Structure 1
């Protein structure tokens, strides 16, 4: 009997140690500074990388941060091998993934060329018949998706903001939607902000599983204790 009890205790200790040392793999975009990107050495950098490092310290979860193209990050999330940080939420995604408490609020702004003298942005109908620069794999809003799917606007995709900025300067697109902190360092004297498109909270999303649900509870307990990221106004 004593041998059985000792064996059971060893088994429980082993399971507990495994749970505590479980590795959570989180993918972030490699091309979205200052929020998430790979630095010159290929290491994860940016606001979300810093938040994930702080989260690991505060929660006790071992987190591996991996930078990659955003479409690949979403594919890995769908496959169930990785979580993703910096993701927007929508009803379809909520059916498939577990969402944390918000990480940050991103201000999506509409930009145009000064020489085109375009009016201030007010509503999705302002994009009718226009070419709008966006990032591949990104969700912007339900209204934007519907307008794109019905052919009311043309969503011109790029893998990084710098490509969209260059296309806008050359007149190859009519508008650009981008995060304020990402776009404004690249504006120069040719482009201007035309109004706020949306203010979207970002989250950590995990594949649905019982183990990830337990991890999510630890994540949500730790998130309010993290230092708030500093961004430009």
Structure 2
């Protein structure tokens, strides 16, 4: 049974009496569907952990694109979502501190003259990224000379890169590494071009108490080792538990 404090928090975080959770399947490192069609991965596990603490059941809102998930929470059609922290997305949302850091990388063909990340931003280069993804938002701010070609979603990036003979594909490092193993003649450029700080998010209209509880929930999940254990459980490689607090802006 919830205590009065828990009942108050439950109403503040999920005023409809059920936790409506937006899950984006665009980043398979964090979320996917299991064999039964149920959301799986660290994002789904965090949702279940918070719902259990508040004594709530979950209604899933599943999307293939990050910006669809953002709009769902921003419009208060969901109570919780999972997003890369980005200033463009900040309007209408409250981000928790990040729970995981993921690297963004570039991929090219083996015969590409490009050898380093700082060679990408040149006139005539066409870089593909998933429309509305964290990579798209970041590259839109930072690329001054190259042209961004937006794929319909993050999972469609490599297919568009191949089909349209583009110069560079941008995305989650782990996913690009898997694609490079699956498809011949591809390689990743060394290092990373950005770090994605993945956080939980709630509508900005939620109260200060709700925001504080969400922040504390995420920090406890990191501090207790729960996030690190989730990495092992879901065989997540190439990502890191985020440090305490909020990241600096890019």
TM-score normalised by the chain length of structure 1: 0.77
Q: Deviations over 1:70-125 (max 9, x none)?
A: 232122223222245331223343342111111210100111111223221126x6
Contact 1:38 1:67 in 2 (8 A): no
Aligned position for 2:140? 145
Which runs of structure 2 are paired with 1:142-181 in the superposition (5 Å)? 144-146=139-141, 152-170=145-163, 172-181=165-174
Distance 1:127 1:86, change over 3 A: farther
Residue by residue over 1:179-216, the C-alpha shift from the partner in whole angstroms, topping out at 9 and shown as x without a partner, is 112221221242111131101211112112244x4333
- Distance, in Å, in 2 between the alignment partners of 1:122 and 1:177 is 13
- 1:113 maps to 109
- For residue 36 of structure 1, what is the aligned residue in structure 2? 31
Q: Tell me which of 8, 11, 16 is aligned to 1:19.
A: 11
| Residue 184 of structure 1: aligned partner | 177
Q: Give structure 2 stretches of 5+ with no counterpart.
A: 239-250
- Bigger drift between 21-30 and 103-112 goes to 21-30
Q: Secondary structure at the match of 1:185?
A: helix
**How many aligned positions are there?**
217
Task: Identify, as 1 or 2, the structure richer in helix.
Answer: 1
Q: How does 1:86-97 map to 2 (within 5 A)?
A: 86-97=82-93
SS in 1 for 2:50: helix
The separation in 2 between residues aligned to 1:40 and 1:111, in whole angstroms, is 30
In structure 1, what is the Cα distance between the partners aligned to 2:36 and 2:83?
24
1:200 aligns to what?
196
Residues 133 and 115 (structure 1), Cα distance of their counterparts in 2 relative to 1, 3 Å cut: same
- Residue 132 of structure 2 aligns to a residue whose secondary structure is coil
* 1:132-164 residue CA offsets vs partner (Å, 9 max, x unmatched): 11112113376621466x7x3332222444432
Instruction: Indicate the larger mover: 165-174 or 189-198.
Output: 165-174
Q: TM-score, normalised by structure 2?
A: 0.72
Residues 218 and 62 of structure 1: is their aligned pair in 2 closer, same or farther, counting only changes over 3 Å?
farther
1:143 and 1:218 map into 2 onto residues whose CA distance is 29
Alpha-carbon spacing, 1:59–1:106, altered in 2? closer, same or farther (3 Å): farther
Cα contact 1:29–1:68 (8 A) shared by 2: yes
Distance across 2 between alignment mates of 1:141 and 1:89: 13
1:67 aligns with 2:62: yes
* Corresponding residue SS for 1:76: helix
Which residue of 48, 58, 75 corresponds with 1:79?
75
Between structures 1 and 2, the one with greater strand share:
1
The secondary structure found in structure 2 opposite 1:93 is coil
- Aligned residue in 2 for 1:133: 128
User: How much is the aligned-residue C-alpha RMSD, in angstroms?
Assistant: 3.1
Greater Rg by CA: 1
In structure 2, distance between residues paired with 1:127 and 1:84: 39
Q: How has the CA–CA distance of structure 1 residues 191 and 85 changed in structure 2, closer, same or farther, with 3 Å as cutoff?
A: farther
